[in-house]
Each structure stands twice: as C-alpha cells, then as structure tokens.
C-alpha cells in the first residue's frame, strides 16, 4: 500500500484508535430530498465537528458544503436507479475518478447488490472503480446494499462483505445483524455498519455499541443521526460510543443531557 492510500485511509479511520464515525448524507442520489436533508447545508454543517468523514454525492458536495471545510470526504460514485423505479440498486458508475480527485476526496463509495438477478451489473463496475482508485491511491468503501426482499443475516452479509473485500475494497460497509462477529471474522478489511431506518435513539446507540463489540471499526450512519429529534445531540452520543468507549447507557445519558442544548 503506497503513502497516498495510507494517508487517505488515516483521514477516514482515526489512527489514534482505529475507529471512525462516518456521517452518511448521500441518500439523495436515489431518494431525492430525504426527510432531514431537504436543506442539507443547514442540517450537515452543525454535525461536521463531531464526524470523522462525510459521505455524499458530488452534487451535494458542490452545492451544500463549503470548500473551506476540513472534513474528509467519501464520495458516492455509484447510482443509476431510484426508490420509485423498477430496479432499485441496479447501480453503475456515476462519477469519474478524475472528478473525485478534483474534489480532493479521501475515499469513494460504491454499492454492490450481491444476490440480485443483476448482481453482475453492480459487481463488474465495482471492480473497475477499484482499479481506477488504486491507480491514484484512493480507498474504496464497498456498500453491501440489501434489496427489499433479502434477509440481513450473518450468512448473507458475510458473503457480500467477503466478496467486496476479495474484489479489493479497502473498507466494507454493511448492516448489523445477529452473530455479527462472524461477518467481521471472515472479512479481511475493516467493517463499518450502516444505521438503516430511523429507530429510537436508545436502540440505535445500542446497535452501534454491539457492532463495535463484535469487531466493527465504526459506523457510517445517516438517518439515525439526521432524523433524530436532536441531530447534534445524537452525533455526540454516537461519537461517545465510537471514540470514547461509552456504554449504550452512558451514550444515551449524553444524548438526553445534550438534547435541546
Ligand atoms: C445507502 O446506500 C446509503 O449509502 C446510505 O448512506 C447508508 O445506507 C447509510 O445511511 P443510513 O444510516 O441512513 O442507513
């Protein structure tokens, strides 16, 4: 691994503790103006001091985020289908590596849909993105997307995560599930969990804690932060779990204390 790749990875994963709090606000690429992100700049800017990286599309980055920010960017480079279309997550490349470099990103993210009839259509461009990213020392975060009717169990997520790593991903983002340690143990690269649909703050904090206990290095969380009744309090509470060894109870206490502050 060359210096540039290592340096970019250390902008995503904090070298002090090997953990990361990635803030995911890329939902608009297939969901449009997602609840909480209608005015993305107003939502995201107050959260940035507590996140390690920001994951979003190039359009959102150019339109909603100041170029003077110091937050490392993970750029979504896959897409092509929408939540109202017939083939959700049949994604291809939507941004070139040259544009990612122009945007000075720390990494790129690409979704694969293992098990779908069109899985090959997502896996082959994923491999091309890794080739291009390797050329310039840019880490690739593989997002193991899950279709509406697919189970999120350790066997399936373990398969998808391992495949992503064997294709060459540098970080895998997947979903938390029972026996999550099996997913982590059989994946040779660091794993972060997605937050998934909004749940009560207490449950989301417990999930983040359980994932870390099982070996995940952090979270790439969106809706459970920006759709929280207090997004800043919630990102601080998630940070306490990820970087400050807080228990779920301590983190929830922090959320309650910070709420409305
Ligand atoms: C989905 O493919 C997107 O990458 C989301 O950013 C990701 O699922 C994380 O967001 P959330 O925590 O809302 O699930």
Q: Report the pLDDT value the prediction gives residue 152, as an integer from 0 to 100.
A: 87
Q: Name the nearest CA neighbour of 18 among 249, 205, 192.
A: 192
- Pairing of β 78-79 and β 92-93: antiparallel
**Rounded to whole angstroms, how far apart are CA atoms 151 and 8?**
33
Catalytic residue among 173, 198, 236, 257: 173
What residues have CB less than 8 Å from 238, skipping those under 6 apart? 21, 204, 205, 208, 219, 221, 224, 225, 251
The closest residue, in CA terms, to atom 10 on ligand 1 is 222
What average pLDDT does the chain have?
Answer: 97
**Rounded to whole angstroms, how far apart are CA atoms 27 and 63?**
15
* pLDDT band with cut points at 50, 70 and 90 for residue 22: very high
CB of 220 shorter than 6 A to ligand 1: yes
Q: Each residue of 157-186: pLDDT tens digit? A: 999 999 999 999 999 999 999 999 999 999
CB of 111 shorter than 6 A to ligand 1: yes
For the residues 250-258, what does the mean pLDDT come to?
98
Q: Report the alpha-carbon angle 157-163-169, nearest 5.
A: 105
Atom of ligand 1 nearest to the CA of 109: 4
- Which pTM does this prediction carry? 0.97
Q: Quote the DSSP letter at residue 225.
A: H
Query: Could you say which architecture CATH assigns to the domain 3-258?
Result: Alpha-Beta Barrel (3.20)
Residue to mutate, 37, 194, 219, 235, ligand 1, most ligand atoms under 8 Å from C-beta: 194
Greatest Cα pair distance in the chain: 49
Whether 229 contacts 258, CB under 8 Å: no
CB of 239 shorter than 6 A to ligand 1: no
Has 173 been annotated as catalytic? Answer: yes
């Amino acid at each position: 691994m060359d210096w540039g790749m290592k340096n970019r990875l250390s902008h995503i994963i904090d070298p002090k503790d090997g953990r990361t709090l990635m803030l995911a606000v890329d939902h608009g690429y297939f969901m449009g103006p997602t609840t909480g992100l209608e005015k993305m700049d107003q939502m995201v800017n107050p959260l940035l001091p507590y996140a390690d990286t920001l994951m979003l599309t190039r359009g959102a980055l150019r339109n909603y985020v100041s170029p003077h920010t110091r937050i490392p960017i993970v750029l979504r480079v896959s897409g092509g289908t929408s939540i109202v279309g017939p083939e959700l997550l049949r994604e291809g490349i939507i941004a070139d590596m040259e544009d990612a470099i122009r945007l000075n990103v720390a990494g790129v993210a690409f979704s694969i849909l293992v098990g779908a009839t069109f899985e090959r259509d997502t896996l082959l461009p994923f491999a091309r993105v890794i080739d291009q990213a390797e050329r310039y020392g840019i880490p690739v975060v593989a997002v193991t997307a899950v279709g509406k009717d697919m189970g999120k169990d350790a066997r399936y997520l373990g398969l998808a995560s391992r495949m992503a790593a064997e294709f060459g991903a540098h970080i895998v983002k997947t979903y938390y599930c029972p026996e999550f340690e099996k997913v982590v143990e059989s994946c040779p690269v660091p794993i972060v969990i997605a937050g998934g649909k909004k749940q009560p703050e207490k449950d989301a904090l417990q999930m983040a804690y359980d994932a870390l206990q099982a070996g995940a290095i952090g979270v790439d969380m969106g809706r459970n932060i920006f759709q929280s009744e207090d997004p800043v309090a919630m990102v601080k509470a998630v940070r306490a779990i990820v970087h400050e060894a807080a228990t779920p109870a301590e983190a929830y206490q922090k959320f309650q204390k910070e709420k409305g502050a």
